[in-house]
């Protein structure tokens, strides 16, 4: 590779450990011991069903249990979800993430997707790791998994310190557009050490809203063939936390049947919304009918000059943190929302997003519910 130069050996900073457990920095005694949080992550594939009956093939990251513990040998893993489960740590933690590439078992036998490597990119955590290897020759000595991803049947342990509170994401970066849009993405939250604060500001409740674009033809082609001409990619479903809203408010698969997506709050509270997007070309432009949102941070960094929006554009990969004060909303009706008292809608105003499969109101619409 023409652009690589010889690099002198550097002292490894304590903040960036990686590789085998034996490689603990001896200087650790000079620094307070960081709490260690370990996450065992497994690749798995399966089918995902939406509220309108549409079902499509997805590939995602799963965990054995809510504690992200290592799965006993031979146990059956849970089916993947959209999005993948949220990883959560506290600022200052040392984080160990063990990626297990279990292969795919729900695609067609002839599909090229059966045997592909995977990685995890911790988007926004700006991670670079010290890796054992010959320092003068930048590529030599680096394990193949670093270049080509973790192959089927193999594992890899990422280790890093979470240095900045914020909202980040984790997603695959092998054949990135396809793997990500197949479902290999989830939120990664770094909390402040002070509970219920974000960038020093108090909040009472929080919700993580992960928006995504799907082309079901793309997912089906990957399931059967393993390849897709991305010039043909045309989104047909626009999801919030993996779901769409439908006219039947009682549909159990709707966005408004998901407690992670319905923004419940008490009158007088301040709600924190963590907003994330993965898409091929759609901008989600988020509009609550009854509120203004104060944008306090983005991409894991506070804004020195927060601003208010009632219509917030978010592009693929971006994150925003907004605070929503719930003032004088209880028992009130939003007349354009078509809902009951204390309930108002929050949806994508970039209208392709609200017409999944060509039909309104199928899209990433959810509601605020004030108690």
Q: Which of residues 148-187 bind a copy of itself (CB under 8 A)?
A: 148-149, 156, 158, 173, 175-178, 180-181
332: left (phi over 0), alpha (psi -120 to 50) or beta: beta
Q: Cβ 5 to a copy of itself, closest distance in Å? A: 5
Q: Residue 169 and residue 171: Cα distance in Å, rounded?
A: 7
Among 46, 60, 124, 242, the residue binding a copy of itself under the rule CB under 8 A is 124
Instruction: Write the DSSP string, 33-49.
Output: PPPEEEEEEEEEEEEEE
For position 233 contacting a copy of itself by CB under 8 A, the verdict is yes
Asked if 253 is part of the footprint of a copy of itself (rule: CB under 8 A), the reply reads no
Q: Which is nearer to a copy of itself, 88 or 309 (CB)?
A: 309
Phi and psi at residue 321, to the nearest 5°: -115, 125
Tell me whether residue 200 or residue 340 sits nearer to a copy of itself (CB atom): 340
Q: What is the DSSP letter of 71?
A: P
| C-alpha to C-alpha distances, 318 to 83, 237, 240, 282, 315, nearest whole angstrom | 16, 19, 15, 12, 6
Nearest to 144, CA basis, from 164, 171, 117: 117
Q: Residue 9's CB: how many other CB atoms inside 10 A?
A: 9
Between 5 and 109, CB nearer to a copy of itself: 5
Q: Which of 26, 73, 128, 195 binds a copy of itself (CB under 8 A)?
A: 128
For residue 258, count CB atoms less than 10 angstroms from its CB and return exposed for 0-12, middle for 13-18, buried for 19 or more: middle
Q: Is 303 in the site for a copy of itself (CB under 8 A)?
A: yes
State yes or no: residue 219 binds a copy of itself (CB under 8 A).
no
> Is 21 one of the binding residues for a copy of itself (CB under 8 A)?
no
Identify the three-state secondary structure at position 257: helix
Q: Is 289 in the site for a copy of itself (CB under 8 A)?
A: yes
323 contributes a contact to a copy of itself by CB under 8 A: no
Q: What is the DSSP string of 282-301?
A: PPEEEEESS--EEEEEETTE
Verify binding: residue 100, a copy of itself, rule CB under 8 A.
no
Based on the shown chain and the rule CB under 8 A, indicate whether residue 120 belongs to the binding site for a copy of itself.
Answer: yes
Q: Which of 49, 105, 202, 371 binds a copy of itself (CB under 8 A)?
A: 371
Comparison of 23 and 249: residue with beta carbon closer to a copy of itself: 249
Tell me how far apart the alpha carbons of residues 197 and 232 are, in angstroms, rounded to a whole number. 44
- What pairing do the DSSP bridges indicate for beta strands 343-348 and 366-370? antiparallel
- Residue 310 as a binder of a copy of itself (CB under 8 A): the answer is yes
Nearest distance from C-beta of residue 89 to a copy of itself, angstroms = 18
- Smallest separation (angstroms) from a copy of itself to the CB of 167: 11
Q: Which residue of 44, 319, 321, 323 would you call a contact of a copy of itself, by CB under 8 A?
A: 319
Q: How far apart are CA 15 and CA 25, in angstroms?
A: 10
Report in angstroms how near the CB of residue 11 gets to a copy of itself at its nearest. 10
Among 59, 190, 198, 290, binds a copy of itself (CB under 8 A): 290
313 binds a copy of itself (CB under 8 A): yes
Tell me: does residue 192 bind a copy of itself (CB under 8 A): no
Q: Decide whether 78 or 325 has the Cβ nearer to a copy of itself.
A: 325
Between 173 and 201, name the residue whose CB sits nearer to a copy of itself. Answer: 173
Q: 75 or 128, CB closer to a copy of itself?
A: 128
Q: How far from 356 is each of 216, 221, 272, 293, CA to CA, in Å?
A: 11, 19, 27, 26
Work out whether 315 is an interface residue with a copy of itself (CB under 8 A). Answer: yes
> How far apart are the C-alpha atoms of 190 and 62, rounded to whole Å?
20
- Told to check if 355 binds a copy of itself by CB under 8 A, we report yes
The helix/strand/coil state of 192 is coil
């Amino acid at each position: 590779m023409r652009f690589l130069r010889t690099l002198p050996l550097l002292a490894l900073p304590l903040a960036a450990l990686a590789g085998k457990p034996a490689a603990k920095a001896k200087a650790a005694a000079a620094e307070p011991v960081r709490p260690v949080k370990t996450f065992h992550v497994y690749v798995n594939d399966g089918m995902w069903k939406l509220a309108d009956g549409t079902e499509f093939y997805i590939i995602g990251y799963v965990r054995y249990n809510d504690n992200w513990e290592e799965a006993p040998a031979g146990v059956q893993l849970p089916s993947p979800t959209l999005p993948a489960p949220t990883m959560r740590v506290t600022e200052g933690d040392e984080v160990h993430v063990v990626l297990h590439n279990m292969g795919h078992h729900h695609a067609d036998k002839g599909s090229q997707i059966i045997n592909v490597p995977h990685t995890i990119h911790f988007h926004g955590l700006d991670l670079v790791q010290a890796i054992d290897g010959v320092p003068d020759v930048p590529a030599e000595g680096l394990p193949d998994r670093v270049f080509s991803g973790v192959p089927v049947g193999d594992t890899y342990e990422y280790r890093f310190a979470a240095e900045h509170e914020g909202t980040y994401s984790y997603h695959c970066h092998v054949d990135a557009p396809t793997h990500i849009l197949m479902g290999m993405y989830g939120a990664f939250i770094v909390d402040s050490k002070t509970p219920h604060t974000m960038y020093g500001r108090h909040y009472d409740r929080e919700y993580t809203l992960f928006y995504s674009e799907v082309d079901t033809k793309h997912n089906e082609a990957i399931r059967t063939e393993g390849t897709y001409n991305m010039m043909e990619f045309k989104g047909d479903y626009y999801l919030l936390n993996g779901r769409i809203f439908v006219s039947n408010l009682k549909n159990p698969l709707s966005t408004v049947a998901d407690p992670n997506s319905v923004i419940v709050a008490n009158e007088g509270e301040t709600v924190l919304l963590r907003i994330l997007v993965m898409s091929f070309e759609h901008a989600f432009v988020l509009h609550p009918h009854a509120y203004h949102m104060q944008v306090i941070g983005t991409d894991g960094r506070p804004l020195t000059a927060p601003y208010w929006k009632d219509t917030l554009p978010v592009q693929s990969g971006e994150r925003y943190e907004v605070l929503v004060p719930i003032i004088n909303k209880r028992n009130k009706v939003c007349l354009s929302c078509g809902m009951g008292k204390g309930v108002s809608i929050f949806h994508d105003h970039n209208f392709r997003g609200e017409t999944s499969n060509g039909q309104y109101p199928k899209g990433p619409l959810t509601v605020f519910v004030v108690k």
